[in-house]
Amino acid sequence: MFNWMKTAILMAGIMALFGAVGMVIGGKQGMLLALGFGLISNFFAYWFSDKMVLRMYNAKEVDETSAPQFYRMVADLARRAELPMPRVYLIQEDAPNAFATGRNPQNAAVAATTGILRVLNERELRGVMAHELAHVKHRDILLSTISATMAGAISALANFALFFGGRDSEGRPANPIASIAVALLAPIAAMLIQMAISRAREFEADRLGAEISGDPAALASALDKISRFANGRVPLETAERHPETAQMMIMNPLSGGGLRGLFSTHPDTAERIRRLMAMAGASVVA
């Protein structure tokens, strides 16, 4: 229920941004047109954002025939988590990473890069996929996927404002400073809305993922390995082109700082590992 409320607030905030940008573009009429576009965008984001993100990453669906070991691993973890079997995808990228998407557990999908299958051993990969299924069980996936697609739409609309803002009688920008400000600030505002996605969700997904897999130390080891490839050492090219999708990943894949830093919704990796190792120690003691 809480994630549904956060999703509603997110979509309302995005509608307000659309209205503000529309006002700069064309006054009241522009605001109404932008709000209409925002309503349509929200509709498509709710129903089709998962497909849009998967297509963005050129993800290919696999099954028990095309990727038997990986598919059966996900199926086993889904049974342990008491979840419907999600669709399973592979992404041809060297950077090790993974994410989950979909409207709800009945319409969920999990995706992993081919790089993560090469870098991690079986125990570690189980931990990662259990983490992604934890996001499905917590119903984080709708919020994160909608925020990714709508932030991109806001950025595009703001750039439109820069070039097609209102004109005076002589054809000059009626308010060039406002147009430039909206073009710069609207994407930042969209990013800040994304940051409403709590970093605590990653800690919770780590905790539940460790319970699902029954191996907190393996997930900790996986995070340690993935972190060595993060921050641009092995870039995830699609995420670099579409940084609004970075918050969906198990590990922040973006290189560099600047505006990209605003997309960082992941907690400190060392703290995630520390908590998982504490769980592993507690299970040994028990």
Distance of CA 33 to the CA centre of its chain: 28
Phi-psi region of 68 (alpha: psi -120 to 50; beta: other; left: phi over 0): alpha
**Selection from 286, 277, 284 nearest residue 127 by Cα:** 277
Q: CA-to-CA distance for 203 and 266, rounded, in angstroms?
A: 9
- For residues 56 and 68, what is the distance between their CA atoms, to the nearest angstrom? 25
Q: Which candidate in 61, 64, 122, 132 is catalytic?
A: 132
- Nearest residue to 129 via CA among 84, 81, 92: 81
Whole-angstrom distance, CA of residue 233 vs CA of residue 236? 9
**132 has catalytic annotation:** yes
Residues annotated as catalytic (active site), given as ranges: 132
